[in-house]
A and B are shown apart, each in its own frame.
Chain A
Amino acid sequence: MVTEYVLRKLEEILGASNVHATPGQVKAYECDGYVAFKSLPGAVIFPQSTDEVSHVLKLFSEQRVPYVARGAGTGLSGGATPTRGDVVISLAKMDQLLSLDLENHRAVVQPGFVNLELTKRVAGKSFYYAPDPSSQSVCTIGGNFAENAGGSHCLKYGVTTNHVTAATIVLPDGEIVEVGSSFGDEDGLDLLGLYVGSEGTLGIATEITVKILKKPQAVQTIMALFDRVEDASASVSGFIAAGIIPAACEMMDQLAMQAVDKSRYHVGYPSDVEAVLIVEVDGLEATVRALSKRVMDVCTENHVREVRSAKSEEERALWWSSRKMAFPAIGRISPDYMVQDGVIPRSRLAEVLKRIETISQTSGLRIANVFHAGDGNLHPLICYDSKKGETDIAQDVGRQILELCVDVGGSITGEHGVGIEKIAEMRYQFSQEELTLQQAIRDQLDPKGLCNAGKLIPTPSRCMEMKGAASPSVSSLEQILSASGSPQARLAR
């Protein structure tokens, strides 16, 4: 519960129009892209500057009000979901590009600035912002910062943490601190490195400096269709063995291909191929042709049925849309589904996919696979029907898959974060000592436990009851991605 006093103070700081507290106003903020747990926020507020955020956090600290930051709400692990009547601090109105320095390859954005917008703003000068989560048309750079978001091109270019150079953070006590260094290295401990990926539990990022890169001179996109998943997996290892680091290397299995082919992004995949690889190579014009030939040769050595490179920009765009819209498309073949995000050593791909198939058969639930094959980041999509009471089975399947990832030396999450969703699995990946250290850092930086509490690190008492309280709604992801990136549209959600 947010007290009248707190609401009045918030209105003083932010203006009444930026403080929403009626059930009708706050309902849209009861969850993010992870819809299995919902809970109403105590209020939703819209600060517009670092100073406002600082004043708000000072107030919250003094009045012990729990809160959670929110970007576009596309998170898939419940990171932006309130759990105890928290106040949602929406950064939707802090959506400006603050400065652009093309000569020095830097941009400074407010956290609510949408990922793809940045590339759009600099594309005219042949620059782009490299991290490209599939949700990039709506997700914010603040949300990317907090989740250390990845994307299809992170195999070669790295994830968000490799592209952020500095940030302004408002600490849980309201103090403002600059971390990182726009150029060169941070003095002292790498606080920026700690903050990126901390899932909004250590403070709120209000300004973010990122690198923008020059677009590669040439790009070739290759599609390879395989009769057998094993051959597709072997090709992925084959690229690396041949000394090639593709810009992107994505895989979809049969079920996923069927699903996207039912959507707007119809490629026309043959119904009997087991796997498709979308591989992109980029670099200097003079080298890309030879590189793409080598990629195709590796596929051929691994019994590819058909392999070709995109003939036009439209074809390339279609292939990418087909890949990027694959999650939401699963909604077309299953009433409900759950997205997982485990990571495995690339060399174990074929073996792990086989075991996932066994898990699927044993459980009776279909599992589609759409993923970043190049860096071993799996996204098994577990199809189920909550109305048939399959939610618990689906959750158990998800747990089995994540444990499998850890068992082969991997991780429970490669880019979606722990949030609420994977909090129990943290115990499977980390020892008690490791969790204790993480908690100690959190206790130091947020001693009152107000900042996105109850997420990320399991504590004995909390969290478990949050899982599986409700069932995911099918179309929500499609809605998220089809919404326009305008602030109004985001505010409306």
Chain B
Amino acid sequence: MENPFELALMTIVSQEYVKKHIVHGTSRWVASPGTMEEVVSLVRLASEYGKSVTPIGALRRLGTLFKDGQAELWIETERLCSIIEYSPEDMVITVGAGMRLCDLQHELLKFNQFLPVDPIGDVDETLGGIVATNAWGPSRALYGTLRDHVIGTRTVLANGDVVRTGGRVVKNVAGYDLTKLLVGSFGSLGVMIEITLRVRPYPTQRTVTLLSGSVADVDRARAELMDATLIPSVFECVNTSLARTLTSSPGTHGALDTGSPLTLAVGCDEPVEGTAFQEGVLRAWSSSYSLEILTFTPEQTAVLWEDYHMTLRTAATVLRVQGKPSTLIEIAGTLLAAVNQERMWLSGCIPAGVLRLFFAADDDAVALVTACVSHLTACGLSLHYEKLPTDHHDFPSVSQEIAIPDSKQTVHRLIYQAFDPAGLFSSTRLGGA
């Protein structure tokens, strides 16, 4: 009855930190190490027993893969959640990869600083998880993605070696930038145990203005904003159903005619005088282009983003579309005219050139996703699923394999050869996942 691998696991982490699940008749273990040494021992053990490994955070992203994933040992980083070093003066912090993003933000706020990322996900998602997925939200428009904020990691490799990538200083070009490879690697290159981030002063205030109108008018405002010297901290295009939830809180409810097909959310993280100026410019555009305008106070803005996240995090399927900013509004317009948009939310970071479609988990999802995929594919756009429900075999394929050409696949393979020649972490490999 006693499984030798399981027994060995328990010599590394105590029993309470090992859980066994039987999935489709085979055993899978979730182990929660409390130290770097334990992570190393777990990886070595798995390697010795030929068991595949997947690092996990809060399992928000991997919730689905867990059921049909192949990894036999899941290394959970939950207990690696301390602040290792924080130097507010340097605006640099190093934390355990299992730290929750919300806890990190809480610590940083004590020094009036923050990590300017707002990924769409649950409150308990971990830094390891959001870094490994390079997850992002609307503040990408000004601040970029985690790729721009993560300056170093400490990572346990497949052979049990512990390596530091990058460093703890904001500028550093010594050796290859392996940190970049780890960001967005979906746990396929190693277990990140520490993450070093550059953070920023918290803005004196954060506000948002909504501009709603016809596709053509919103597109004009988009062109103006791209060409202006304003500093939009958010530059997001959303559809009617999402705009409706954003204006549902007291004080803003009913203030916007959400019958307009598209709405631009333009954020401002500038001090009061800057915000007033920026709002003035937006107001002028709203009258030139007959757009409806609604400005939010800092308090209302906080509520708006909470509503935004609360709505989108319930999505079961997320589809990403990339293209030139100048084309996105029109793409969104034609798509929304072609499908029943009541059952989906659209949100796109215009300057980054990305639209995301969020679909609720309901009976019509497959049909709706299929309609969107065929419409967008016909426009010649490349698509990717960021999230799929557990039971996703009815969803249309947007095959990543086709998107990644052979020569690039080769480079991927070579890099995996260098990091993980035996394929210990293979179960979550990109492209194959």
Please list the residues of chain A having a beta carbon within 8 angstroms of any beta carbon in chain B.
Answer: 101-105, 126, 147-148, 150, 154, 158-159, 161-162, 171, 175-179, 181-194, 196-198, 214-217, 237, 240-241, 243-245, 283-287, 290, 343-347, 372, 375-377, 409-418, 422, 426, 429-431, 433-438, 440-445, 456-457
Contacts and interface: CB of A to CB of B under 8 A. Distances in A.
Nearest to B172: A411
B157 interface: yes
B201 interface: yes
B178 A283 contact: no
A233 to B, nearest CB: 11
B353 A190 contact: no
B417 A444 contact: yes
A374 to B, nearest CB: 9
A243 B204 contact: yes
Nearest to B92: A345
A197 B181 CA distance: 13
Given A372-B171, A444-B415, A189 B181 contact: yes
Nearest to A194: B181
Residue among A148, A154, A283, A434 having the largest count of chain B Cβ atoms under 10 Å? A434
Contact of A441 (B90, B174, B176, B326): B176
A23 to B, nearest CB: 34
Contact of B172 (A104, A184, A343, A457): A343
Residue among B89, B183, B223 having the largest count of chain A Cβ atoms under 10 Å? B89
B171 A175 contact: no
Contacts of A286: 270, 273-274, 276-277
B298 interface: no
B90 A175 contact: no
Given A185-B134, A194-B178, A344 B169 contact: yes
Given A214-B229, A347-B87, A437-B157, A148 B200 contact: no
Contacts of A196: 177, 180
B352 interface: yes
A426 B175 CA distance: 8
Given A159-B171, A189-B184, A284-B278, A245 B145 contact: no
B323 interface: yes
23 contacts: A102-B227, A103-B324, A103-B325, A175-B410, A179-B408, A183-B325, A184-B352, A185-B322, A188-B404, A189-B181, A192-B180, A193-B177, A194-B415, A285-B277, A345-B89, A347-B89, A410-B172, A415-B171, A429-B175, A430-B164, A433-B157, A434-B163, A434-B165
Given A104-B324, A148-B177, A284-B274, A188 B171 contact: no
Interface in B320-343: 320, 322-326
A412 B412 CA distance: 29
Interface of B: 87-92, 112, 134, 144-145, 147-148, 157, 161-165, 167-181, 183-185, 189, 200-202, 204, 223, 226-231, 270-271, 273-274, 276-278, 320, 322-326, 351-354, 384, 400, 403-405, 407-408, 410-412, 414-415, 417-419, 430-431
B85 to A, nearest CB: 8
B228 to A, nearest CB: 7
B322 A184 contact: yes
The 9 closest A-B pairs by CB, nearest first: A193-B180, A183-B353, A184-B322, A243-B201, A444-B414, A440-B418, A414-B171, A217-B229, A347-B89
A216 B403 CA distance: 37
Nearest to B152: A411
Given A345-B169, A413-B172, A287 B163 contact: no
Nearest to B353: A183
Contacts of B410: 175, 177
A240 B201 contact: yes
B173 A197 contact: yes
B389 to A, nearest CB: 21
A190 B184 contact: yes
Contacts of B181: 189-190, 193-194
Nearest to A159: B171
Nearest to A417: B173
A455 to B, nearest CB: 11
Nearest to A283: B231
Residue among B170, B175, B226 having the largest count of chain A Cβ atoms under 10 Å? B175
A290 B202 CA distance: 17
A456 B411 CA distance: 20
B183 A193 contact: yes
Contacts of B270: 283-284, 286-287
